[in-house]
Amino acid sequence: MQIRIQSTGAVMYEAEFRAYQKANGGPSWETTTTEVLEALGADVVLEGPQASGGTVYQYSQASGVEQIDGKWYTKYILGPLFTDTPATDETPAKTAAENETDYKASKDAEQAKSVRSTRGEKLAESDWTQVADAPVDKAVWATYRQALRDVTAQSGFPWTVTWPDAP
């Protein structure tokens, strides 16, 4: 549970709040109640709704707190957010746009690897259909297996893939 200090707006977890109170001469108490928090000048921070929508590159991330109808909630936004990064001894400076491009390329590569892994599993599961004495229509299965190999050529790859149906 998170707690917001009314006088400063600082947000901290319950254990940090207890330590903060102890270090600042606050009372010793074993359970957190609304009355105790109110007496100590603090509010409970409730879990807010996750951010939704966005693109395949975005996710819901915490971004502070907000007050709604007199109660405090964790605020979520779609991220990640990109900023310029300064040069270091090992890396050159990058703009926010360059960092975003690099991030998207990394996510595309991860997704492509996952799709290729699934494709490999589907091909391995159907290997038996291509042995000489397999009691199946080899041409139909060969067409299915070729469609699996062609998944990476689909226009939505790697994020939108239409898997062929096994015969």
Going from N- to C-terminal start, the domains of the chain cover 2-79, 96-153
Give tens-digit pLDDT for 148-166: 999 999 999 999 999 999 9
Answer yes or no: pTM beyond 0.75: no
Residue 116: what pLDDT? 98
pLDDT, mean of residues 111-140? 94
Distance of CA 28 to the CA centre of its chain: 38
Whether the per-residue pLDDT at 28 is higher than 80: the answer is no
Asked whether the bond before 86 is cis by omega within 30 degrees of 0, the reply is no
CA distances from 146 to 41, 121, 152, 164, 165 (A): 67, 14, 11, 10, 12
> Does residue 27 surpass a pLDDT of 90?
no
pLDDT over 60 at 31, yes or no: no
What integer best gives the mean pLDDT of the chain?
90
Q: At what angle do helices 96-125 and 138-149 cross, to 10 degrees?
A: 170
